[in-house]
A and B are shown apart, each in its own frame.
Chain A
């Protein structure tokens, strides 16, 4: 890992704003989600707009880390984790690569929704290990609020929009910033937990109400806490780490209840669990890299910290990774 950056859209939606639209209260929202406010895109902002800003910040960070401008010039692969591409077709990653002026580099999207960043990390790691790429721009970006049914209170309170990006480079396995282990999984029997029923090849047009995201909140929580804990333990085992070795648990910021329950199951004390969900909400594929960037900037993540990542998302998909935090330029 050689650079990191983020972008959150400037428009803030507070719990008080949501109370104007729904029969809800700040207390109700905070008790169930731990969320106080979230940033949302304007009508004229798309995922690539967020992603280009975050990627530019990550490339500047990579240059600062390297002490030269070589880092941003040498990107030879762009991977975008997103569930909200600018268009159903084509993929958004090539558009981002072009807007960044990266030339004819390979660029593609990875769709694993809230697990998308961990899946993308596995893809980037594999591409570097097998020599296809030496310097990868990995972006997690979503404008998920564009998929929310205006009448659905439970989804409206949870999601926010953001992008965050990492620059990953070839290096030694024992260097700080190297991915130590990965673990991924899926279960398509749980596809209906979080889904948009229409708009794909199964129902290209569908009913208007089937074009919004539909989420079975209780069942999502049930499977999320189980799978995020399990896959985290698998990643720890593959790294040869115990739970006690973990300095910071940076999980997908779905809601505070999930973070607390997963941490409790793993036996991790609250001071080792990073959370920015109160101000950001669930930003889907952006969630983990956004958390990493904010934790690094605030000093809650320090060079040398052993970091455990874990996520669960629509699919259902899940994934976890371990790494030692590097010193990054800004």
Chain B
């Protein structure tokens, strides 16, 4: 998947995730927003990541988790992460 296409899909998934958690939230999620600003705390972020990984078939290593602060960080890490091992 191209980086731009991945970025669009990740943004859609983040949008769905934050809207489900907070239905009062309106307007598009900016890529520059931090997850904290979107009301996604550290554990909710793990739930979001697991959803994005499953949808896009990639796996972000544990070591990267503390480095992901913004939506754009998430897009970048998803784009550069290896595909999930098909046998697992």
Contact = CB atoms under 8 A, between A and B. Distances in A.
A32 B43 CA distance: 8
Interface string A197-228: 00000000000000000001111011101000
A32 B65 CA distance: 17
Interface stretch (B25-33, B45-53, B75-83): B45-53
Interface string A219-249: 1011101000000000000000000000000
Contacts of B45: 218
A257 B43 contact: yes
B62 interface: yes
Interface of A is mostly: helix
B87 to A, nearest CB: 16
Q: What class of interface size applies to chain B in its complex with A?
A: 10 to 19
Contacts of B65: 216, 218-219, 222
A16 interface: no
A222 B66 CA distance: 13
A274 B16 CA distance: 30
A261 interface: yes
B42 A32 contact: yes
B42 A222 contact: no
B62 A222 contact: yes
Contacts of B62: 190, 193, 216, 218-219, 222-223
Among A31, A193, A216, A219, residue most surrounded by chain B Cβ atoms (within 10 Å): A219
A221 B62 CA distance: 11
A157 to B, nearest CB: 13
Contacts of B41: 31-32
A261 B42 contact: no
B66 A218 contact: yes
A193 B49 CA distance: 18
B44 to A, nearest CB: 8
Interface in A1-51: 31-32
Interface of B: 41-43, 45-47, 49-50, 62, 65-66
24 contacts: A31-B41, A32-B41, A32-B42, A190-B62, A193-B62, A216-B62, A216-B65, A216-B66, A217-B43, A218-B45, A218-B46, A218-B62, A218-B65, A218-B66, A219-B65, A221-B43, A221-B46, A222-B49, A222-B50, A222-B62, A222-B65, A223-B62, A225-B46, A261-B47
Of all A-B residue pairs in the complex, the 10 with the closest CB atoms, nearest first, are A219-B62, A218-B65, A222-B46, A257-B43, A221-B46, A221-B43, A218-B46, A218-B42, A219-B65, A32-B41
Given A219-B65, A225-B46, A261-B47, 11 more contacts: A32-B41, A32-B42, A32-B43, A193-B62, A217-B43, A218-B65, A219-B62, A222-B46, A222-B62, A222-B65, A257-B43
